[in-house]
Amino acid sequence: MEQRIVRPPFWRLALAFIVVPGAAALAMAIQQPLYAGLPDFWDRVFRTALIIAVVGAYPAALVLGMPAYLLLRKRLRPAVLNCAAVGAMIAALPWLLLGLLSSPDHAYSNGHVPHQNGHITLWGLFDLSVFTGWIGLLGAGAGVLFWLITVPGAHGQTDPD
């Protein structure tokens, strides 16, 4: 017996692709606000969230998230764990690639040397794995939010293929 895949309505899908990257940017901005010179915490969070959303979250959702959805919607069930795993990969992959492919001549961070002579050091790999793990956790949370917005609202609209 063939199982029919239930797809969410288009408006819920569009809403998820609009809301989820902004929510992930806001969560990261609350955890790591920039602009230390500003006295108001929420002003710092807002400005940080705006930069994270424009530079990181929305481009990743557009370039990686939409193709991933179109590619995986017929191959995977829209389960919460699937959405969380895909969200984690979409969020962490650009930062992992940027960290592995960048090769500054020398870098210094928190008393450690992550790059030396154009190569990443063991500390740099550890630092990169912790950072991409944190970003992956935020992405997993974003995937769960994506699932909460899209999947529970799919009331019997089945995939025609």
Cα–Cα distance, 58 to 67 (Å, whole number)? 13
Q: How confident is the model at residue 3 (pLDDT cuts 50, 70, 90)?
A: low
For the four alpha carbons of 82, 85, 88 and 94, in that order, the dihedral sign comes to: negative
Cα–Cα distance, 130 to 70 (Å, whole number)? 30
3-state class (DSSP) for residue 106: strand
Q: Assess whether pLDDT exceeds 90 at residue 16.
A: yes
| Per-residue model confidence (pLDDT) at position 75 | 86
| Per-residue model confidence (pLDDT) at position 77 | 82
Q: How many CB atoms within 10 Å of residue 96?
A: 18
Q: Assess whether pLDDT exceeds 80 at residue 68.
A: yes
Cα–Cα distance, 45 to 143 (Å, whole number)? 22
Per residue in 78-133, pLDDT (tens digit) is: 889 999 999 999 999 999 999 888 888 888 777 888 888 888 889 889 999 999 99
End-to-end CA distance of the chain: give it in Å, rounded: 15
Q: Residue ranges per domain, the chain?
A: 10-153
Cα–Cα distance, 106 to 16 (Å, whole number)? 41
Q: Assess whether pLDDT exceeds 80 at residue 156.
A: no
Please, what is the average pLDDT of the chain?
88
* Mean pLDDT confidence for 14-28: 95
Q: How confident is the model at residue 2 (pLDDT cuts 50, 70, 90)?
A: low
Per residue in 38-50, pLDDT (tens digit) is: 889 999 999 999 9
**15-24, 135-144, 152-161: lowest mean pLDDT where?**
152-161
3-state class (DSSP) for residue 114: strand
